[in-house]
Amino acid sequence: MNEQTSHLNRERRFLVLLGVICLALIGGALYMQVVLGEAPCPLCILQRYALLLIAVFAFIGAAMPGKRSLTLLEGLVVLSAIGGIAAAGNHVYVLANPAISCGIDTLQPIVDGLPLASVLPLVFQVDGFCSTPYPPVMGLSLAQWALVAFILTAVLVPLGIYRNRRQA
């Protein structure tokens, strides 16, 4: 196995790990929803979509044989993370300013109209308000944790590409 293949395999392993982490985060959100009774708001659901897209693109990217297709899927991972940053950043802002609504009346029909909301309503249907303050997890709100995860994804994926391609 040549050095370039070794570096691409490292990227593929990272993408599989990233996909598993994203699915675990969705699982954690479902646990909090079902077991702890924390209802998801429109911005929560948009963050779930971003996590799902990151996982799907990461798994597909990990299966791609060539460098170009791998890079394309990594780009889609980064774009999905940027979408997650927008949703999570907005959610953090709403939580910091409780007088501001997430616009449940505006966003709910849009988010609930997305295809997965009718296929998997437990996972992708809006049931709460963005301004509801749930207990923090290790000092941060769920929206803040999501924002950290999306930022790390948007930064680490391109850094990994740069590092691996430069070394190859």
What's the farthest any 2 CA atoms get from each other in the chain?
Answer: 59
pLDDT in tens, 61-95: 999 988 889 999 999 999 999 999 999 999 999 88
Q: Tell me what the pLDDT averaged over the chain comes to.
A: 88
Which residues, at least 6 apart from 103, have a Cβ–Cβ distance to it below 8 Å? 42
Is pLDDT of 104 > 70? no
Query: Going from the N-terminus, what domains does the chain have, and what CATH number goes with each?
Result: 3-167 (1.20.1550.10)
- CA distances to 3, 52, 92, 140, 157 from 80, rounded to whole Å, are 29, 9, 18, 22, 12
pLDDT in tens, 8-31: 788 899 999 999 999 999 999 999
